[in-house]
Amino acid sequence: MSNWQAVPGLQIAIDGPSGSGKGTVAKMLAGEVGLPVLDTGLLYRLIGGLALERDIALDDSEALAALVDEMLEQVAWTVNGIAFGGENWTDRLRSEAVGAAASTVAAQQQVRDKLLGLQRKIAESGCIMDGRDVGTVVLPQAQAKFFLNASVRERARRRWAQLKDQGGSSLEAVIEELKMRDQRDRERQHAPLRQAEDGIAIDSTTMRVDDVVDRMLGVLARRGLITAV
């Protein structure tokens, strides 16, 4: 049961770099306001993951375009994650290798253009969507846009803590991987990661997840986009 009621069709964009907490915060906020949450990174991860599995070069734009077309025919993207060909792929897309592949294929304009329609369609009746370009490109008309950030060391520490039980890399290696991913996502030509002009920046380096969600709820309530129930 949600504690807040959202205005009909409310769209909330949450963008930010890897490990800033977008996904975690988006899910908690969704529970508070009763909206579906959609993690756009999963779309890029699915393409990256499929490309790795099929040995498709990550800069082969023709093969990637065909892969996206195939993916769009067989994808089911829901609050439980992403399914392809009737199988739930979400868990196997979580590795850093798939994240890096996703970031590489995401630099291709053709790939991004092909995914735009699906993202907008899913958001039509209201949602919380997290990614890199949601507030700037996918939903520029969203009523609330947040740009979540944290220091690179803190983001790497969070990611490392998540992966270490699976025998992952050292903290220093995670920091380097994250820096490379940040650079690729921020410096690419098409839809780079950046804060929307009307976006609200939140630095979560020293904040608890609950405090980040409370800050967002405060903004939404002050704007009349949610009311307490």
Ligand X SMILES: Nc1ccn([C@H]2C[C@H](O)[C@@H](COP(=O)(O)O)O2)c(=O)n1
Question: Based on CB atoms, which residue is closest to ligand ATP, 18 or 143?
Answer: 18
Number of residues engaging ligand X in binding (CB under 6 A): 15
Subset of residues 136 to 165 that bind ligand X, contact rule: CB under 6 A: none
**Nearest-CA neighbor of 69 among 118, 130, 131, 129?**
118
Task: Report whether 90 belongs to an annotated binding site.
Answer: no
Q: Does 20 help bind ligand ATP (rule: CB under 6 A)?
A: yes
Provide the residue type at 82 as one letter.
I
3-class secondary structure per residue, the chain: CCCEEECCCCEEEEECCCCCCHHHHHHHHHHHHCCCEEECHHHHHHHHHHHHHCCCCCCCHHHHHHHHHHHHHHEEEECCEEEECCEECCHHHCCHHHHHHHHHHCCCHHHHHHHHHHHHHHHCCCEEEEECCHHHHHCCCCCEEEEEECCHHHHHHHHHHHHHHHCCCCHHHHHHHHHHHHHHHHHCCCCCCCCCCCCEEEECCCCCHHHHHHHHHHHHHHCCCEEEC
| Sole binder of ligand X in the list 40, 136, 149, 204 (CB under 6 A) | 40
Q: Does 45 help bind ligand X (rule: CB under 6 A)?
A: yes
Task: Report whether 19 belongs to an annotated binding site.
Answer: yes
Task: Report whether 86 belongs to an annotated binding site.
Answer: no
The region of 18-26, 70-78, 101-109, 117-125 touching ligand ATP under the rule CB under 6 A is: 18-26
- On the 0-12 / 13-18 / 19+ scale of CB atoms within 10 A, 218 is exposed
The minimum distance between CB 229 and ligand ATP, in angstroms, equals 26
Subset of residues 33 to 62 that bind ligand ATP, contact rule: CB under 6 A: 41
Subset of residues 57 to 116 that bind ligand X, contact rule: CB under 6 A: 99, 102-103, 106
Q: Does 104 help bind ligand ATP (rule: CB under 6 A)?
A: no
| Sole binder of ligand X in the list 4, 37, 44, 89 (CB under 6 A) | 44
Question: Based on CB atoms, which residue is closest to ligand ATP, 125 or 162?
Answer: 162
Subset of residues 8 to 37 that bind ligand X, contact rule: CB under 6 A: 18
The region of 126-134, 155-163, 205-213, 220-228 touching ligand X under the rule CB under 6 A is: 126-134
List the beta bridge partners of residue 6. Answer: 226
Q: Does 11 help bind ligand ATP (rule: CB under 6 A)?
A: no
Question: Based on CB atoms, which residue is closest to ligand X, 45 or 226?
Answer: 45
Give the pairing type, strands 127-131 and 37-39. parallel
Binding residue positions for ATP: 16-24
**Residue numbers at the binding site for ligand X (CB under 6 A):** 18, 40-41, 44-45, 99, 102-103, 106, 131-134, 181, 185
